[in-house]
Structures are given as structure tokens and as C-alpha cells.
């Protein structure tokens, strides 16, 4: 329901950034919970799982809106493939627990926060027509990275 509401009423970039920051924050906060409040730690884990799953659903819709019609299927397929590689690597991230109990949470929380900041550079697609050509896609407004210059 939350994904549907976000897609219907809120800007894509803002929704994705909020979801990723909320998921990252919940994963970071797990290490601050005392052992006597294990229920709170489980609740934070479930909140992190919920919002990261919601973020994944939002990203599928957002990704499809970013690419022009001529390459949309190919680009979406590449993005899905890369996401599945991440899913394949996730069990190995859990093995980081052998070195430090909270290292998997720190790793995944950091990835979520870095992804949220990277999403700042994506163009907004909410309420705008889908691009039909690559030139239309390149003309979309997004936040400019100061270290990249376009000619």
C-alpha cells in the first residue's frame, strides 16, 4: 500500500531518497539497542526490511520512467540483472557477522544511505511524459555533479 501511495502522490526521487534513508537509519539504529530490548531490535530489522523492499518496488517503476522507449526494455533488464547480483551477494554480507556482530547492518545501512545520496543526481519523472528518444532523456533536469563536466 505504501508503494502504491508513494507512486500515486509523491515525487519519485523524493520517495526513493526517503525510503532509502529510513531503511539505512533503521539498520544503523539496531546496534544502539540494548540486549534487554531484543523486541525493539527485531522491530527495527523488520522496518528496515519493509522499507528496503518498498524501495526496490519503487525503483522498478522509477527506472522504467527514466529511460527512453527505444532502450527501456534493455536498460530495465540490465538494472534487474545488477540488482539480482546484489541479491546473490547478500548471504555473504551476513557472514561478516563473524568479524563484528553489527557489521552486516552497518554495511547494508551504509549502502542504503550512499544510494539515497546518489539518487539526488537522478532526474525527477513524476507527472512528466516518458522520454521517447535518448535526446529527450538527456535533456531532463537533474542535480548537477560538480566533478562531471558535459560538453
List, for residues 3-33, the tens digit of each pLDDT value. Answer: 888 888 888 888 889 998 998 898 888 888 8
Model confidence, pTM: 0.80
Q: Number of helices (H) and strands (E) in the chain: give both, helices first.
A: 6, 0
CA distances from 54 to 2, 60, 87, 96, 147 (A): 8, 10, 15, 25, 31
Q: What is residue 98's DSSP assignment?
A: G
Distance CA 69, CA 138 (A): 13
- Convert the pLDDT of each residue in 53-74 to its tens digit: 888 888 888 888 888 888 888 8
Phi-psi region of 131 (alpha: psi -120 to 50; beta: other; left: phi over 0): beta
CA distances from 127 to 7, 11, 80, 102 (A): 10, 8, 24, 40
Return the percent helix, strand and coil in the chain, to nearest 5.
75, 0, 25
Distance CA 150, CA 73 (A): 26
Distance CA 110, CA 90 (A): 14
Higher pLDDT, 22 or 148: 22
Q: What is the pLDDT of residue 114?
A: 92
Amino acid at each position: 500500500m505504501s508503494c502504491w501511495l508513494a507512486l500515486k502522490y509523491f515525487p519519485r526521487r523524493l520517495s526513493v531518497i526517503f525510503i532509502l534513508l529510513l531503511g539505512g537509519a533503521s539498520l544503523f539504529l539496531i546496534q544502539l539497542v540494548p540486549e534487554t530490548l531484543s523486541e525493539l531490535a527485531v522491530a527495527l530489522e523488520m522496518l528496515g526490511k519493509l522499507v528496503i523492499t518498498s524501495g526496490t518496488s519503487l525503483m522498478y517503476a522509477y527506472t522504467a520512467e527514466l529511460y527512453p522507449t527505444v532502450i527501456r526494455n534493455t536498460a530495465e533488464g540490465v538494472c534487474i540483472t545488477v540488482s539480482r547480483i546484489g541479491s546473490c551477494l547478500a548471504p555473504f554480507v551476513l557472514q561478516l557477522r563473524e568479524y563484528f556482530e553489527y557489521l552486516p547492518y552497518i554495511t547494508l545501512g551504509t549502502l542504503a544511505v550512499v544510494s539515497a545520496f546518489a539518487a539526488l543526481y537522478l532526474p525527477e519523472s513524476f507527472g512528466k511524459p516518458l522520454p521517447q528518444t535518448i535526446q529527450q532523456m538527456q535533456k531532463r533536469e537533474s542535480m548537477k555533479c560538480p566533478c562531471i563536466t558535459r560538453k
